[in-house]
Amino acid sequence: MAPPPALLLTRLMLRDFRSYPALTTVFRSRIVVVSGENGVGKTNLLEAISLLGPGRGLRGARMADCARQEGEGPRPWAVAGRFDSTAFQEFDIGTGTPEGGPIERRVFRLDGAPVRNQAELAERVALVWLTPQMDRLFQDGAGDRRRFLDRLVWALEPHHAREVAAYENAMAQRNRLLAQERRGEGRVDPAWLSALEDAMARHGVAAAAARRDLVARLNGALSGGITGTFPAARLDLQCSAATALDAAPALAVEDGLRATWAASRGRDAAAGATLEGPHRADLLFTHGPKNLPAALCSTGEQKALLIAVVLAHAGLIAAARGFAPLLLLDEVAAHLDAPRREALFAALAALPAQAFLTGTDAGIFAPLHGTAQGFRASPGGLVPDNDLPVS
């Protein structure tokens, strides 16, 4: 059995969040199972937990969409969690609609005080999730896999999101200026474009380096058998900037990107987009034992590969930051056969992390009897599942 997690969510409070008018729930176990029919709010519960960390949560939803819809329209919403932490002892995080503010905005509070930036949250809380929508990761575009990778990097490097956002902001400004010039709305000052390309190079190389580092660390963990009986995935980052870092220092790679963008302004203006750079990176998965691209694997194998990556990532966070992330696993047992489900439950029991699992069939969680705390979800509420008593 693993040692107690260094980070635990012990209480969750919701007000007018999605399908929940009001909810206060106490968690007393390191593995929590929520079962129930489709549409009763299981994913909403995980989304609420995911919003207690930095970012836009597991759905990436607009803030107005998080509000419960009733009567004349959406209502102000709030999510609050109490955490027990080895490093910070007990602390509270709250988020939701600002008092008297627009429903589209969202604010954070840490122990009742306003949060200056989301990096403050990232220093205390890390969350990693798997959702059914992520089962399409191997068939979707490069952008989806890149965002998946960036979330993994962010959990280990809280400032990574700032680098990515700064890069994308500078690139968007460059694209607008090139579009104005293409439309004949005036010649753009080359020095202005150079300044934007300089910012893109600095922030883009920093982001590419962080992605490259995490992929290398994940491959090391996966090849070391950290995921138990789950097949080892082999990850490959396709990114010209990351590849260049294998042979040259960061400053030289930045210089190369600046030169590339300066020479391609005409082409990028015609295309209406910046055609080269870290924003074109892709993350490829391969089934290690079979040496087979994940896109060609079975649905069950793809699910197992994703689980392997998430478990390896959780182990890296625990080693690097002193606490493992909260694992939010929505319908995680879907597409897994019985031996793989048992392997997953055993891996979660051995990992020093708190895990929240959902599923429509409560019976598949029977092996967790005596280990997990169980709830059954109903519209707007949770009730204890007596078949999974508090461990």
Helix axes 142-156 and 160-182, enclosed angle (nearest 10) = 140
Looking at the DSSP bridge assignments, the partners of residue 284 are 236
Question: In this predicted structure, what is the pLDDT of residue 3?
Answer: 66
How much helix, strand and coil, in percent to the nearest 5, is found in the chain?
45, 20, 35
Task: Tell whether residue 41 is among the known ligand binding residues.
Answer: yes
pLDDT at 192 over 70: yes
Task: Tell whether residue 390 is among the known ligand binding residues.
Answer: no
The average pLDDT across 133-138 equals 87
In this predicted model, what pLDDT tens digit does every residue of 332-353 receive, in sequence order?
Answer: 887 788 888 888 898 888 888 8
The average pLDDT across 178-187 equals 86
Q: Which of the pair, 74 or 37, is modelled with greater confidence?
A: 37
Residue type, 36: G
Q: Categorize the per-residue pLDDT at 226 as very low, low, confident or very high, splitting at 50, 70 and 90.
A: low
The average pLDDT across 245-271 equals 96
The average pLDDT across 353-379 equals 91
The average pLDDT across 149-171 equals 91
pLDDT at 125 over 70: yes
Helix axes 160-182 and 190-223, enclosed angle (nearest 10) = 140
Quote the CA–CA distance of 192 and 266 in Å, as a whole number.
Answer: 15
Taken in order of first residue, the domains within the chain and their CATH numbers are 1-126+323-391 (3.40.50.300), 140-316 (1.20.1050.90)
Task: Tell whether residue 10 is among the known ligand binding residues.
Answer: no
Question: In this predicted structure, what is the pLDDT of residue 330?
Answer: 94
The average pLDDT across 257-276 equals 96
- Residues constituting the chain: 391
Q: Which of the pair, 157 or 12, is modelled with greater confidence?
A: 12
Question: In this predicted structure, what is the pLDDT of residue 225?
Answer: 62
The average pLDDT across 181-204 equals 92
Quote the CA–CA distance of 37 and 41 in Å, as a whole number.
Answer: 9
Question: In this predicted structure, what is the pLDDT of residue 228?
Answer: 59
3-state secondary structure 286-355: EECCCCEEHHHCCHHHHHHHHHHHHHHHHHHHHHHHCCCCEEEECCCCCCCCHHHHHHHHHHHHHCCCCE
pLDDT at 315 over 90: no
Q: Which of the pair, 325 or 357, is modelled with greater confidence?
A: 357
pLDDT at 1 over 60: no
Q: Categorize the per-residue pLDDT at 236 as very low, low, confident or very high, splitting at 50, 70 and 90.
A: very high
Q: Which of the pair, 299 or 285, is modelled with greater confidence?
A: 285
Question: In this predicted structure, what is the pLDDT of residue 391?
Answer: 46
Task: Tell whether residue 42 is among the known ligand binding residues.
Answer: yes
Q: Which SS3 state, helix, strand or coil, does residue 194 take?
A: helix
The average pLDDT across 148-154 equals 90
Question: In this predicted structure, what is the pLDDT of residue 232?
Answer: 81
Task: Tell whether residue 322 is among the known ligand binding residues.
Answer: no
Task: Tell whether residue 25 is among the known ligand binding residues.
Answer: no
Q: Which of the pair, 368 or 170, is modelled with greater confidence?
A: 170
% pLDDT > 90, the chain? 55
Q: Categorize the per-residue pLDDT at 2 as very low, low, confident or very high, splitting at 50, 70 and 90.
A: low
